[in-house]
Amino acid sequence: MSHLSITPLSSALGAQISGIDISQPLNLEQRDAIEQALLKHQVLFFRDQPITPQQQARFAANFGDLHIHPIYPNVPEQPQVLILDTAVTDVRDNAIWHTDVTFLPTPAMGAVLSAKLLPEFGGDTLWASGIAAYEALSAPMKNLLEGLTATHDFTRSFPLERYGNTPEALAQWEEARRKNPPLSHPVIRTHPVSGRRSLFVNEGFTSKINELSETESEAILKLLFAHATRPEFTIRWRWQKDDVAFWDNRVTQHYAVDDYRPARRVMQRATVLGDVPFFR
């Protein structure tokens, strides 16, 4: 096996991985080493990995079952790989801090994102550590939040007015909405492997804290959204073509900076399903 090199990028999260070709099947030692790095660093970056959609799906499937997105277009021959192409799809919902598909009963464990076409400048992505954000909260705030639940709603990032404006799109949106009604997850989530606690609310999908009044919920969520994305809890990645990022979606959120228009940006993502969030 080739030597896997791990270079941490910040104290909160992020590491660059080298010494491995992820276009090739992983052996058990490689898979376990990547998983352990992910648990420790929360988001991993691989430079110069020109993978096909089939190779991307195979790599992601080492870590769980793959999700087929209800709205975004996908690679026809590999539907588990979705396409984020600014020339085709309105991707404004990525230019907001969000954790992927928390509208599912079993939100994503992680995601593998591959850079296919990049603008000349701009188009960076930021990640934030929910673990670092939780650990920085005061003891009284932790006590307040522990045991609370929040509603996650598909329509916050996929509103009807943007995703239902043709008969075909409307039918797709209505089917996605029917299959993904609002549901609740704990505000503080316990990582199912490491046991560490993390904030688990995000501006992209979280609509309210269920046990609070509307006014209280709005105030607390506003505070948590701002707190979770403080610069010291984040890392910013400047993409190069064929970069790949793999993040732990259970304890992070991310933001794709929309600062490159009218240039085009094309990314492909394979999403790994996780488990039911819990707190203990």
Active-site residue, from 58, 67, 185, 254: 254
The strand order across the sheet containing 206-209 reads 183-186, 149-152, 206-209
HSE, side-chain direction, 13 A CA sphere, residue 146: 13
Tokens of 208: 């309210």
Active-site residue, from 98, 156, 177, 197: 98
Query: Rounded to an integer, what distance in angstroms lies between the CA atom of residue 120 and that of residue 68?
Result: 30
- The residue length of the chain stands at 280
The position carrying tokens 């988001």 is 43
Identity of residue 110: G
Residue 227 annotated to the active site = no
CB atoms within 10 A of CB 186: 20
Residue 254 annotated to the active site = yes
Active-site residue, from 93, 100, 243, 248: 100
Residue 100 annotated to the active site = yes
Residues annotated catalytic, as ranges: 98, 100, 254, 269
